[in-house]
Structure 1
Amino acid sequence: MKTAIKLSLTNQIMIATILGILCGFVFQGAVSDLKIIGELFLRLIQMSVVVLIMGAVIEAVGGLEAKELGKIGIKVFLWFVGSTILAAVVGIVFGFLFQPGAGIEHTSAATEAISIGSTRLEDVLLNFIPSNIIEAMSQGNMIQVIVFSLLFGLALSLIKDEKNNHVILEWIIAFNNVILKMVTLIMKAAPIGIFCLIASVVGESGVQVLGTLIRFLLTLGSASLLFLAAWLVVTACYCKVNLWRLMKNMWRMSVVSFTTTSSAVSLPILIEDSREKLGISDRIAKLVLPLGMSLNSNGLAMFLSLSVMTFAQYYSIELGTGDLVQIVLLSTLACMGTIVVPGGGLVTLATVMPMLGLPTESIALLAGIDWFSGMFRTLLNVDPDVTVALIIAHDEKELDHDIFNGTKHVTKTAE
């Protein structure tokens, strides 16, 4: 009797990616209609992201003691801000080394409609606080949802301690389990959705999508991989874990983030693998990872700083030390509360460009390859979030080395 060969979701996604690229090159525009299937898959995932993040943060914060939250929160903030600034600096350095803007051929392709955000610093800061949480949820403004969830979770934690009332917290935990189960079911369609998305993108753009700005992609890719490799080495040394085991345990989440180009879509996988493969406690994973999705966008920071360097080289603009510092600061600040779905990088870039006096129509130069640059951005957005969670878990003595090393298997999350 023959045994059926079972492929893991990771392998299915990798195969779907390769087939999608081949299908796009062979059939070109004939597969453009497949895009609707891919977009349906992304919408199925995205429809629950706001409540998933809100529920995870409220559960994590609500289950903490107030003094505990303060101690962990400061650590998380410092690691997030430090890594984001470092990523922006690396983008500038690689921009100087590879000079990607020097070889760009100008295109007259029209810039797609992109919503330009507020350019004033005070407006950016005010945008952290929602005037209406329902409106913030409907618009998918993640930073405002995070702020509300932190305050709600803090109030819930205080009520829990003062009144000894755990009813609301228990209800939220049960609700989160339902949402996670729903997303897990939707993820079974990931290979089909990803195949359709990639086939349609390659089919519509052809070789041009890889050729016009190949130097930019190579620069971004090499900078991202070098930064990630160095960051993993630092994490392995700090947490006293095996580097190769760390990379193996993070392989599935890396593949999902790279192929979907969406931190939001990757979040359920991150939470699951952090607990079941890396040995990070539920408490740390559910607090750090949702916060990292909106506040720790290393890949986006690098993309923004490198893009500005590319445009400056394209327009032959000389940048002084003050300009470089401004680029780093704006790239770091713009990453907080950004759109965490495919295409969000162009919207954020449209916010940064006018702040630096660069023409926003230049974004058309990168619009054609946004999907491919988004692969590297998302990989660098997602993996450092997990490593920060690993570092915090190590500091708090909540890292299970037996699970990390594969000598103990954790029970699956309640369904």
Structure 2
Amino acid sequence: MKLTLTTQIMLGMVGGILLGILFGPAVGGLKLLGDIFLRLIQMTVVLLIFGAVIEALGNLPANALGRLGLKTALWFLGTTIVAAAIGLLMGLWLKPGAGLHLTPHTPTTVKAPAKLRETVLGFFPQNIFASLSQGNVIQVIVFAILFGVVLNQANRHHQFEAVLNLVKQVNQLAVRLVLLVMHLAPIGIGALMVGVTVDTGLKALIPLLKFLAIYGLSTGIFLAILLLVISWYAKVPLKGLVNGFTRIALVAFTTTSSAVSLPIEMADAHDRLGVSQRITQLVLPLGMALNSNGLAMYLALVCTLVTQLYQLQISFAGMVQIVSLSVLACLGTVVVPGGGLVALAIIIPTLGLPTESIALLAGIDWFSGMFRTVANVVGDTTTAIAIASDEHELDRQAYTHSTLNPHFLRRSGTKGN
């Protein structure tokens, strides 16, 4: 039987832990393989982000960059910031990394910018080639957003289709490169876990279990807030709203894939949640490409976990930086295979945190992915409901029926059993 990559990664993690326990420092040198794997992941990050953001914005329909596009972007931004803030606050409150003290291989600290002016200026590149060569992800994202918008506007009559196609092809190659590197993930993560186990023993597993519990709780809190706000904003009954999301959430949780969940998400948004076809087709694919509430929450919570494991202090400015980077790191990594791991490879080095901490989270990425995907698809769909309500394109009668209502059965062409 052929094992999935997720299963291979989990087996690699368990194998690495067992090797570290059984042979101790004698196998510590295997960590070199893990360090090579991390470098291979990091080398693709800037190119991947650069191409993905430009392609996503360059491909948008002309009307998507107008009023509807701006409104959708603001909803995406707002919900993602809230999600990241919840992850940060829950991490600071419940302290998943408390009780275990790790020592980084190289001295490190979380440095907050001295002045707000420097922080703001740091978002904008002076020289995009310098930003690319230095791996300054924030500046690359800002440039890619501006370039994507300009390309979209200039290509209204397909004059720059060749440029867009070139970006698409480069992006496809970058994704293939990530896929190639991800085939090494079982060996790389296993080797990293050897190093972690040799250094700390089985004590490193306790914070991971606490992390998953806190992440699940944080996701539940975020979804509750989101559904309550949308119920009030769109003036729809909360019970009908929850019933309409049951199948979407179940598919997202079990598949851990926003891409696989998208067809069900689009069907149920229209048939069970009353969103017009026009809004559904605009907001949901765009959300899958650019919006990730669950990933932003995950990254912010990871940062608090890592700072606690390595006894690093976070100032208020550092907290703002964590939330900002958690939001920005989602762009372009949402639909990439191993997107959670790629996003970690962005945010951990950018914040100056020990890169070996990525190994701890990589082994439980599949379990984290269940919560991430639910938060992602529910966040996208609630945005579609809010936009449809604003545009008077929300059928509120859909909320008065049961979970498998006649409205849904008639539109989908199925029969209830």
The structure-2 alpha-carbon separation of the partners of 1:330 and 1:220, relative to structure 1 and needing over 3 Å to count, comes to same
Paired residues of 1:261 and 1:342 also in contact (CA < 8 A): no
- Give 1:105 deviation, angstroms: 7.8
1:10-409 alignment runs, 5 A limit: 33-35=2-4, 61=61, 66=63, 70-104=66-100, 118-128=135-145, 129=148, 132-140=167-175, 213-340=208-335, 343-406=338-401, 408-409=407-408
Report the aligned-residue RMSD. 3.2
Instruction: Give the conservation status (yes or no) of the 8 Å contact 2:100–2:204.
Output: no
Q: One-letter code of the match for 2:280?
A: A
Name the SS for the 2:268 alignment partner: helix
CA distance 1:381–1:353, change in 2 (3 Å):
same
Aligned identity (percent) is 45
Does the 8 Å CA contact 1:119/1:354 hold for their aligned counterparts? no
Indicate how the Cα distance of structure 1 residues 99 and 61 shifts in structure 2: closer, same or farther if over 3 A, else same: same
Q: What's the counterpart of residue 171 of structure 1?
A: none
Cα drift, residue 264 of structure 1:
1.1
Deviation at 1:411, TM superposition (A): 2.6
Question: In structure 2, how many angstroms separate the alpha carbons of the residues matched to 1:257 and 1:117?
Answer: 36
Shift of residue 103, structure 1, vs aligned partner = 3.8
Structure 1: distance between partners of 2:411 and 2:333: 34
| In structure 1, distance between residues paired with 2:274 and 2:306 | 43
| CA–CA separation in structure 1 for the residues paired with 2:287 and 2:377 | 8
Q: Distance in 1 between matches of 2:6 and 2:328?
A: 34
Please give the alpha-carbon distance, in whole angstroms, between the structure 1 residues aligned to 2:205 and 2:212. Answer: 8
Question: After the TM superposition, which of the residue ranges 310-319 and 395-404 deviates more from structure 2?
Answer: 395-404
Q: What number of residue pairs does the alignment pair up?
A: 290
Q: Is the 8 A contact 2:251 2:261 kept in 1?
A: yes
> Which residue is equivalent to 1:412?
412
How much does 1:370 deviate?
Answer: 0.8
Following the alignment from structure 1 to structure 2, what is the Cα–Cα distance between the partners of residues 259 and 370? 14
Assess, with a 3 A threshold, how the Cα gap between structure 1 residues 209 and 353 changes in structure 2: closer, same or farther. closer
Shift of the alpha carbon at 1:285?
Answer: 0.4
Instruction: List gaps (5 residues or longer) in structure 1.
Output: 1-31, 40-53, 109-115, 142-206
- What is the TM-score normalised by the length of structure 2? 0.63
Q: Deviations over 1:206-262 (max 9, x none)?
A: x99986611001111101101111110110111111111111111111011111111
User: Which residue identity lines up with residue 4 of structure 2 in the other structure?
Assistant: K
Kept in 2: contact 1:239–1:394 (CA 8 A): yes
Shift of 1:135: 2.4
What are the ranges of 5 or more consecutive residues in structure 2 without an aligned counterpart?
9-54, 105-132, 149-163, 177-201
Q: Is contact 1:276-1:403 (8 Å) kept?
A: yes
* CA drift at 1:404: 3.3
Q: Tell me, in whole angstroms, the C-alpha distance in 1 between the residues paired with 2:387 and 2:175.
A: 28
Task: Report if the CA contact (8 A) 1:279-1:402 is conserved.
Answer: yes
